[in-house]
Amino acid sequence: MPLLKLPGDVLTRPERTLLPPGSLERPWHWLRSKLHRPAAIRRLGLRSQLPGIHRHAARLASLDVQVLAEERDGLRLALARQGVTPRLARHAFALVREVSRRELGMAHHDVQLLGGLAMLGGRIAEMHTGEGKTLTATLPAATAALAGIPVHVITVNDYLAARDAELMTPVYRALGLSVAAVVHEMPPHERRAAYAADVVYCTNKELVFDYLRDTQLLGRHRHPLQAHAARLVGELQDERLLLRGLHFAIVDEADSVMLDEARTPLILSGPAGKDALDIALLDQALALAAEFEEDTHFVRESGQIHLTERGRERLTERAQALGGGGWVGRSRREWLVQQALVARHHFQRDHHYLVRDGKVQIIDEHTGRVMADRSWEKGLQQMIERLEGCEPSDPNVTLARLTYQRFFRRYHHLSGMTGTAREVRGELWRTYRLRVVAIPPHRPSKRQHWPTISLARQADKWQWIATRVQEIAGQGRAVLVTTVNLADSEALSQRLAEAGIEHAMLNARQDAEEADTVARAGRRGAVTVATSMAGRGTDISLEEEVKRAGGLHVIVAGHHDASRVDRQIAGRCARQGDPGSVELVVCEEEALLDELTEWQRRMGQLPTRLKRAQRRREARHARERARLLEADWREDEQLGFSGKSE
Ligand SMILES: Nc1ncnc2c1ncn2[C@@H]1O[C@H](COP(=O)(O)OP(=O)(O)OP(=O)(O)O)[C@@H](O)[C@H]1O
């Protein structure tokens, strides 16, 4: 029985049809997810595959280029005929390992082979940060691609998609496979060409938007069978579609892509024309919101803003004075003012967005990167633009929307890898039916966790960090400091500049030089200040003398939304057996403290309280995702009768 096989009827089955669990099954799934434990390598029998791979690899190592190419062609034929059977998978892994050794000078370690096998079996490989997931992904990706299965390697940002595709190209090329990266700036014809490659590296956002564009194009032929029928009568030309279907996905940073980003659905929008938005009305709403006082007219709860009874009364009075227009209907006017309050009080410049070239550009809260060409919906974008004195952009209308939960479950074969999956394994199983396999590290980690420092004020924090940075960099080590947002990274940068400490910056405003900044960050005495942009995937290679002096020191200047992000940042140091250390610096004024009640503020030590606040925030985000998933399932059940999807 093959592990993977290209469906014979690939034209009619480019994606999996969703079968949501029935309402009686759901409590059972919930219970199973609570009891879920990471699958043991031993129980899955993964280790027993290693001797076979090594036997093949030893034989391949002695072959010359010509014979190796013949071997590859023979294997490709067998994989295409039989699918990826365990025997052929061992053979393919050995071939990929040998090719990587020749082309990149890196032969996959045993733990990478185990990670690759876990993914080939449709699981999530939890591999420690810095263990070499980029190289690991080549094993299942190339094996599936050799069998003729289109592969998507999905990651969190364009920088990583382009970097990983480029780094791994020699391996794929030597295996006779084509590889491409899809990045934001690409026009449709280049995207289409890229998706035609055997292995495609792309981000979750680009992929889902392209999928939505395709569903728009398919229109009433959205169901695979309808599309096939339309093709036969010439009503549908595949040349205009971008994707080749959803066959095999390897999701890098799986917890970030499949959970953190899954709180909000992706919305494909199109221009609505200037008239669709009444700018005067937005201005009135903003002016009204400026009169409203917190706790009297509105309250903030769990990241949302609600009008109080007094706020509603005030709005009714003011609406009568304004008269007519958008102010007549009660729910409409309340919604308008609520949006204006969100624009005024919730979204902060240099935290949630930045202003560049006269435009308001959203910063992705998970990756710390600018999301070019993305905008908030329903007038919120234009309200923020008015507040920032920018020219209001053209409004958009929603064309299609899709949740990540729904999208990823459409893949015939779904797998992933990450350094941080353990704490969300239940949710990964509940949502995607994906099991987590914990892979041991190649070498024991030498990372030292220094005690947490807690200070009273932000200013004390920056001062303390400046002193610490000077001390550690002076020892010939390299230092990376991460802050929770762009504004904080700039405040710290200013403090360092005042102290005469030379440093590089990596944040949403200084993103053009990313590869160079990362390349310099491991030099002797280098100091780098970054936001969570440096949190995932950033691989800082250290100079030999830096390793001898103690490696990279990471200072985490404040907790992030999820403890997984903190762990990812800590994972920038002590990679691949190098030495390294990490410490956390927190202070009373931190944003997460907003989450604490007065009673909690008075209780316990600051770090413990902050940790609790972080856990509450994580739980809230998990609840939001669960609600979205539940809504998705309900929608599926209702649509089931009319046979539609999406
Ligand atoms: N088998 C190998 N032999 C030698 N070096 C390796 C091997 N595998 C990976 N590396 C090196 O290890 C470093 C870390 O790799 P990579 O960035 O892919 O790790 P990662 O697991 O993706 O880390 P993160 O969790 O931070 O994303 C890279 O510099 C890579 O070249």
Question: Which residue did the predictor score with more confidence, 28 or 403?
Answer: 403
| Phi then psi dihedrals of residue 108, to 5 deg | -60, 135
pLDDT at 638: 52
Closest protein CA for atom 2 of ligand 1: 106
Give pLDDT tens digits for 246-256. 999 999 999 98
Across the chain, mean pLDDT equals: 84
pLDDT at 601: 45
Closest protein CA for atom 31 of ligand 1: 132
Ligand 1 contact via 441 beta carbon (within 6 Å): no
- The pLDDT-based confidence of 395 (bands split at 50, 70, 90) is confident
DSSP characters over 409-443: TT-SEEEEEES--GGGHHHHHHHH---EEEPPPSS
As a whole number of angstroms, the distance between CA 570 and CA 551 comes to: 13
273-394: CATH, from 3.30.110.70, 3.90.1440.10, 3.40.640.10, 3.40.50.300: 3.90.1440.10
pLDDT value at 643 more than 50:
no
In one letter, which amino acid is 299?
V
Summarize the confidence of residues 601-628 as an average pLDDT: 71
As a whole number of angstroms, the distance between CA 73 and CA 79 comes to: 10
pLDDT at 609: 67
Give span(s): CATH 3.40.50.300, the chain. Answer: 25-268+403-438, 446-589
pLDDT at 456: 81
As a whole number of angstroms, the distance between CA 164 and CA 158 comes to: 10
In this structure, which topology does domain 446-589 adopt according to CATH?
Answer: Rossmann fold (3.40.50)
The CATH architecture one would assign to domain 25-268+403-438 is 3-Layer(aba) Sandwich (3.40)
Atom of ligand 1 nearest to the CA of 134: 18
Ligand 1 contact via 109 beta carbon (within 6 Å): yes
Atom of ligand 1 nearest to the CA of 572: 26
Query: What's the ipTM?
Result: 0.98
pLDDT value at 593 more than 60:
no
Distance (angstroms) between ligand 1 centre and the Cα of 287 equals: 53
pLDDT at 64: 92
Distance (angstroms) between ligand 1 centre and the Cα of 444 equals: 15
pLDDT at 234: 65
Question: Which residue did the predictor score with more confidence, 80 or 329?
Answer: 80
| Cα dihedral 190→196→202→207 (10° resolution) | 90
Distance (angstroms) between ligand 1 centre and the Cα of 101 equals: 14
